[in-house]
Amino acid sequence: MKESFIPVTSIASGIGLEVMPDLYYFPVQIVNVIFAGTQDEWVLIDAGMPKTADKITEEAEKRFGEGTRPRAIILTHGHFDHTGALKELVERWKVPVYAHILELPYLTGKKDYPEPDSSVGGGLVSGMSPMFPTEPLHLENDVSPLPEDGTVPFMSGWRWIHTPGHTPGHVSFYRESDASLIAGDAFVTVQQESLYKVMTQKQEISGPPKYLTTDWDAAYESVRKLNDLNPHLAVTGHGLPMAGQLLGTSLKRLADRLYDLAVPAHGKYVDRDD
């Protein structure tokens, strides 16, 4: 895999936040990872940007104690900014990785993600997307499909929800008891295509990051599916956590009008008549 270090960071980078007693979000450069669970049993959701394994480990030890290890690493999807430190963390912690079965080809060297569409969105992050690596990981012996019954390993009370569009095997995680949602990139709370907004983490709900989303019809269905759950709290792959009324109204607005608000008017993964 091509090594790449993206020289950007957000204001919130490095400052973690406990959004629920057993849900901790930690921004690493432009992307979030999540520690779900308690000291006795926790999992890492997503694995951050390339070369951030030490940062993630350090933060985990700060929270759970020296030598702590998650029971598993569970992926919302396999894009490089969510799997950058994955290989190193798996070697270090010797833990299993779970992802949706449709995402496995991208994690085991069988398929490459399509080239990012750098023509959409306009902002600097979009402009940088050609330098994002799309070569697949080779996790043949370490990655398993999520259980078919919708449960999530080592995360009791949670279920995974297939939310394709951004990638074919994208999943979100939902806990009914407190209406908590881990949305990955199904929607995000910062306009990821704009470097300024990423840097300042201006809170603004937005569709999936445009430059990497390939199936907008599926992405739309996925946003509607998540809106129907009526989440009280959402931690997304990019941007700050969002909760309560602000989340409710913004997510509903996005679900009602994704095509106007989030789908680029032009681009190689868009086929629109208007």
From the CB of 38, what's the least distance to Zn ion, in Å? Answer: 26
Beta bridge partners of 208: none
Nearer to Zn ion, 22 or 45 (CB): 45
**Closest CB 30 distance from Zn ion, rounded Å:** 8
Residue 180 or 192: the one with the smaller Cβ distance to Zn ion is: 192
Pick the closer one to Zn ion by CB: 22 or 133: 133
Q: Which is nearer to Zn ion, 82 or 175 (CB)?
A: 82
Stretch of 5-13, 119-127, 152-160, 230-238 contacting Zn ion, by CB under 5 A: 230-238
Residues in contact with Zn ion, shown as a per-residue x/- string from 161 to 190 under the rule CB under 5 A: ------------------------x-----
**Choice between 22 and 49, CB closer to Zn ion:** 49
Number of residues in contact with Zn ion under rule CB under 5 A: 4
Distance between CA 25 and CA 182 in Å, rounded? 10
CB of 214 to Zn ion, least distance (A): 11
Among 22, 59, 81, 142, binds Zn ion (CB under 5 A): 81
CB nearer to Zn ion: pick between 16 and 116: 116
Minimum distance between the CB of residue 32 and Zn ion, rounded to whole angstroms? 9
Q: Rounding to the nearest 10 degrees, give the CA dihedral for residues 270, 2, 52, 195.
A: -40
Stretch of 56-64, 119-127, 232-240, 241-249 contacting Zn ion, by CB under 5 A:
232-240
CA–CA distance, 127 with 188 (Å, rounded to integer): 19
Nearest distance in Å: CB 185, Zn ion: 4
Q: Is 132 exposed, middle or buried (0-12, 13-18, 19+ CB in 10 A)?
A: buried
Q: Are strands 180-184 and 171-175 parallel, antiparallel or unpaired?
A: antiparallel
- Binding of Zn ion at residue 79 (CB under 5 A)? yes
| Positions in the binding site for Zn ion (CB under 5 A) | 79, 81, 185, 237
